[in-house]
A and B are shown apart, each in its own frame.
Chain A
Amino acid sequence: MILITGGLGFIGLHTARAFIDAGEDVVLTQHRTRREPEFLRDDIGKHAFIEQLDVTDAARLEELGRKYRFDGICHLAGPGYNAPSPKADYEINVFGLLNMLEVADRWQVKRLTLASSVAVYYYGGVERGPFREDMRLSMSASNPIEAFKKSEEMLAWHFAERTNIDVAMMRIGLIYGPLHTYNNPAARMARAAVDGVKPEFPVPTYAEDTTDLCHVSDCARAIVLLQTADKLSDRVYNIGGGRATSNREIAEAIERAVPGADVASALTPGRGPQYQEDRYMDLSRIRTDVGYEPQVWLDEGISAYVEWLRGHEQ
């Protein structure tokens, strides 16, 4: 039985699906997210169980530990960009992590996997990609994801050294696909194309800026591989598409999938001020250790996503 915190989130649900397909039962925790996990419907109550959990609530976590017998924890929950205050953000991230580390130790789970982000490589310290897990990074941050993921990695690393619990940190790329909540350029453009409108961006989005784009089913499969591998050679792994995909390429794929759509023209031409050369993650480590390779290529992933969006109103 695997505990997935934030299990009803975007990546959480796909990860749950991948675990079930691999023969593992899962407990999915939710805090504020309430969505109908349609593609888990047949498994709820059999292979997937849903529980309420605030990750800062250690007593509630203990209660779940008495109710189920967990042999793995996959900690994906986090406030994202939605924390009500800097203090709440700190508490959910930092003390939520501590609670997971403590129960991983106490319950003697085989492995605790922790969501980190490609954002740790952005800006300070790293001039260009491809990004490797052993790169040195700046001890500052330009946004909450970068700040909390970077510091949580180091705290978890040290805790693992002291207690000998098995921890794997997952630096996750820019994930898109069904259930995504429309806050990155790929999701905005796909939604707009399906709705027959022009995409709107809260900030200028540059055509030639790139990200390590990865389809959610690839990401979920990588997480399951890292969670279930017998032995890992390291504690930090990149999970991504392994190539730099530009916003223009994404727009063009969407236009191919939705004939008549015009999304590319909403992009600002050229590169933005924070353009990084070869902004993608090197996948050698995860490839060598667990045999992960991205399988869903851009056109295939985008057309499946567009298909799903057609059946799901915003």
Chain B
Amino acid sequence: MILITGGMGFIGLHTARSLIDMGEQVVLTQYRVAREPDFTRAEIGTNAFVEQLDVTDAEALLTLGTKYKVDGLIHLATPGLGALDAAGDFRVNMSSLLNVLEAARTWEVKRLGIASSVTVYGGIQNGPFTEDMPLRTTPANAVEAYKKAYEVLSTHYAQRANLDIVLLRIAGIWGPLYHSMGNNISRLVHAAVKGVEPELRGDIYEGDAQDYCYVKDCGRGIALLQSAPQLNYLTYNIGGGRATTNGEIAEAIRRQIPNASLPMKPGVTLDRHRPYMDLARIKQDVGYEPVFSLDAAIADYVAWLKENPE
């Protein structure tokens, strides 16, 4: 039984789906998010169990270990961006991590997976980004700060408590169930399906690119790392394995929805070369390869959005 904090969230549900498909049972915790999407509804009560949990509540977390036989843990829960003030963000992020580390040690789980982010590569001009790159210690935002602190502290705790951990550096994820709409690809597809103008944060430039990964690939990547008998490293990139430009996204959306409105400016503003994560490690160790091409992913997402209008 694998317990996923934030398991009812966007990436959590897709990870759960992949783990169930591999024959695992999962406990999904939720704090505020309350949803029961189609593709896990059939499993609830048999292969998936949902629990209310505030991860900062150490006792409540440990109590779940008496209710279920948890032998794996994946920590995805995170406070919403901008939801808390500086001190609140610090307290929630850092007490969640400690509680999860302590639970993993107490339950003697086989492995603890911890979500990190492609954001840790902030400030590096030339990709592809490899896991062994040294990184800056001057984080530009909350995600970069907390994920880096997570990586350093959990590596150390794991050494002292003899825990098997894996740090998951996750790319820009998009696809079914994404509600926070933090990236442009999601906003563009959504608006195209609805036939409205996309609400974008600032101008989009055709030549700007980032590492986008379809959520179904990401969920499978996490599940593979969690269930592999042995891993050679502590840290793994999980991404699309390429830099996808906004222009490519626009073309792919137009192939599905020819009259979509995709307002973009020509040119490049991001001064980064090959800004994507190298996938050699995860490929070699667990055989992960993104299976959704950009076209296939957009077709899949468009179909899902049509079946599941908000």
Contacts and interface: CB of A to CB of B under 8 A. Distances in A.
Do A and B make up one complex? yes
Contacts of B105: 86
B288 to A, nearest CB: 21
Interface stretch (A136-144, A191-199, A203-211): A136-144
Contacts of A232: none
A150 interface: yes
Nearest to A89: B160
B145 A95 contact: no
B52 interface: no
A90 interface: yes
Contacts of B135: 125, 136-139
A98 B91 contact: yes
Contact of B134 (A86, A87, A138): A138
A82 to B, nearest CB: 14
B136 A158 contact: no
Contact of B152 (A98, A150, A158): A150
Nearest to A165: B86
Interface residues of B, number: 38
Interface in A149-195: 150-151, 153-155, 157-159, 162-163
A136 B134 contact: yes
A140 B152 contact: yes
Q: Is the interface of B mostly helix, strand, loop or mixed?
A: helix
Interface in B73-93: 85-87, 89-91
B153 A158 contact: no
Contact of B161 (A86, A163, A236): A86
Contact of B133 (A90, A136, A154): A136
A155 B95 CA distance: 13
Interface in B209-254: 234-235
B138 interface: yes
Contact of B145 (A137, A148, A154, A163): A154
Interface residues of A, number: 38
A110 B124 CA distance: 33
Contacts of A91: 98
Interface in B115-142: 120, 132-139, 141-142
Interface in B147-167: 148-149, 151-153, 155-157, 160-161
Contact of B137 (A95, A144, A146, A153): A153
Contacts of B149: 151, 154-155
A91 B138 CA distance: 23
A91 B132 CA distance: 28
B102 interface: yes
B134 A137 contact: yes
A125 B98 contact: no
Contact of A126 (B87, B133, B134): B134
B94 interface: yes
B145 A139 contact: no
Contacts of B161: 86
Contacts of B156: 140-141, 144, 146-148
A48 B135 CA distance: 41
A277 interface: no
A159 B90 contact: yes
A98 B94 contact: yes
Contacts of A157: 137-139, 145
Contacts of B87: 98, 101-102, 105, 159
B160 A151 contact: no
Given A94-B98, A154-B139, A141 B134 contact: no
Nearest to B85: A162
B125 to A, nearest CB: 12
B86 A139 contact: no
Given A147-B155, A155-B145, A163 B134 contact: no
B220 to A, nearest CB: 25
A59 interface: no
15 contacts: A86-B157, A86-B160, A90-B98, A94-B153, A95-B95, A102-B87, A136-B136, A139-B148, A139-B235, A140-B151, A150-B137, A154-B137, A155-B149, A157-B138, A163-B86
Interface of A: 86-87, 90-91, 94-95, 98, 101-102, 105, 120, 124-126, 134-141, 144, 146-148, 150-151, 153-155, 157-159, 162-163, 235-236
Given A86-B161, A139-B152, A158-B86, 6 more contacts: A95-B91, A101-B87, A134-B136, A137-B137, A139-B155, A151-B153
